[in-house]
Amino acid sequence: MTEPEPGAAPAQRRRGNPLAVVAVLVAAMAFYFALIGYRGLYLLGQDRWLLKVLGLAVLVLPVIGCWVVVAELRFGLASQRLERRLRAAGEWAEVPELPRLASGRVDRRAADSWFDEQRVGVERAPQDWRGWFRLAQAYDLAGDRRRAREALRTAIERSREPAGRD
- CA separation, residue 138 to residues 35, 113, 163 (Å): 41, 10, 24
Domain residue ranges of the chain, discontinuous segments joined by +: 14-80, 108-164
Q: Which of 132, 125, 124 lies closest to 156, judged by CA? A: 132
pLDDT in tens, the chain (166 residues): 444 444 444 444 455 677 888 889 889 988 988 899 899 999 999 999 999 999 999 999 888 988 998 999 999 999 999 999 999 988 887 777 888 888 877 777 777 778 888 889 899 999 999 999 999 998 888 778 899 999 999 999 999 877 544 4
Q: Which of 10, 20, 135 lies closest to 82, judged by CA? A: 135
Residue 14: its pLDDT value, please?
A: 53
The residues facing 97 across adjacent strands are none
- Cα-flanking dihedrals φ and ψ of residue 100, to 5°? -120, 155
Determine the 3-state secondary structure of 79 from DSSP.
Answer: helix
CATH topology of domain 108-164: 1.25.40
